[in-house]
Structure 1
Amino acid sequence: MDKRILVPTDFSKNALNAVRYALDLYKKLHCEFYFLNVFRLDSYTTSSLLVPEPGSAEYEKAKAKSEEEFAKLLEMIALHQDNHKHSYYTISSFNFLSEALKQTIAHKDIDLVIMGTQGASGTKGVIFGSNTVNTMEKVRACPVLAIPENVRYTSPKEIVFPTDYKSTYKRKELNYLLEIAQLHQAHIRVIYVSKKMDLTEEQENNKRLLKEILETVDHSFHTICEKDISYGITSFAESKKSDMIAFINRKHYFFGSIFSRPLVKEIGYNATVPILALH
Structure 2
Amino acid sequence: MKKKILLPTDFSKSAWNSLKYASELYKNEEVDFYLLNAFTVQNYSIENMMVPEPGEKYFEASKSNSELGLQKLLKRIELLNVPVNHTYFTKSVYNTPLEAVKSFVEDKDIDLVLVSNKGETDSIDVLIGSNSIDFMEKVRNCPVFMVPSEVNFKEPNEIVFPTSFKTHYKRKELKHLYEIARITNAPIRILHVSSEQKLSEEQIEKKTLLEECFDGLTYSFHFLESTDVQTGLNLFTQSRNSGMIAFINKKHSFFGSIFSKPMVKDLGYNAKVPVLALHDLRN
TM-score using structure 1 length = 0.93
Match of 2:90, SS? strand
**Which runs of 5 or more residues in structure 1 are unaligned?**
none
Structure 2 unaligned spans of 5+: none
Match of 1:192 in 2: 192
The offset of 1:241, in angstroms, is 1.6
Shift of 1:201: 0.5
1:110 Cα offset (Å): 0.5
Q: Deviations over 1:153-198 (max 9, x none)?
A: 1112310000000122111111111111111111000000011121
Residue matched to 2:104: 104
Q: Are the aligned partners of 2:133 and 2:268 in contact in 1 as well (CA < 8 Å)?
A: no
Counterpart residue type for residue 44 of structure 2: Y
Q: Distance in 2 between matches of 1:152 and 1:79?
A: 18
How far apart, CA to CA, are the structure 1 residues paired with 2:211 and 2:254? Answer: 20
Instruction: Write out aligned runs for 1:146-225 (5 A).
Output: 146-225=146-225
TM-score, structure 2 normalization = 0.91
- Residues 79-126 of structure 1 show CA distances to partners (whole Å, capped at 9, x for unaligned) of 014221000000100012222112211111100000111266866799
- Tell whether the 8 Å contact from 2:46 to 2:95 is kept in structure 1 after alignment: no
Deviation string, structure 1 residues 202-227 (Cα, Å, up to 9, x no partner)? 00111011112212100000000112
Q: Give the distance between the partners of 2:121 and 2:260, measured in 1 at CA.
A: 20
Contact 1:246 1:275 in 2 (8 A): yes
Provide Cα deviations, 1:118-168, integer angstroms capped at 9, x if missing partner. Answer: 266866799x94311111111111111011111111112310000000122
- After superposition, the Cα gap between the structure-2 partners of 1:118 and 1:61, relative to the gap in structure 1 and judged at 3 Å, is same
The residue number in structure 2 matching 1:8 is 8
Please state whether the residue corresponding to 2:214 is helix, strand or coil: helix
The percentage of counterpart residues that share the same residue type is 48
Query: Which residue number in structure 1 is paired with residue 227 of structure 2?
Result: 227
Q: Distance in 2 between matches of 1:31 and 1:40?
A: 29
Rounded to whole Å, the distance in 2 between the matches of 1:195 and 1:120 is: 41
2:117–2:269 contact (8 Å) kept in structure 1: no
Partner-residue secondary structure (3-state), 1:160: strand
- CA separation in 2, counterparts of 1:232 and 1:136? 21
**Aligned partner of residue 83 in structure 1, secondary structure:** coil
1:59 aligns with 2:59: yes
Equivalent position SS for 2:174: helix
How many aligned positions are there?
278
Q: After the TM superposition, which of the residue ranges 65-74 and 38-47 deviates more from structure 2?
A: 38-47
Counterparts of 2:119 and 2:56 in 1: how far apart (Å)? 31
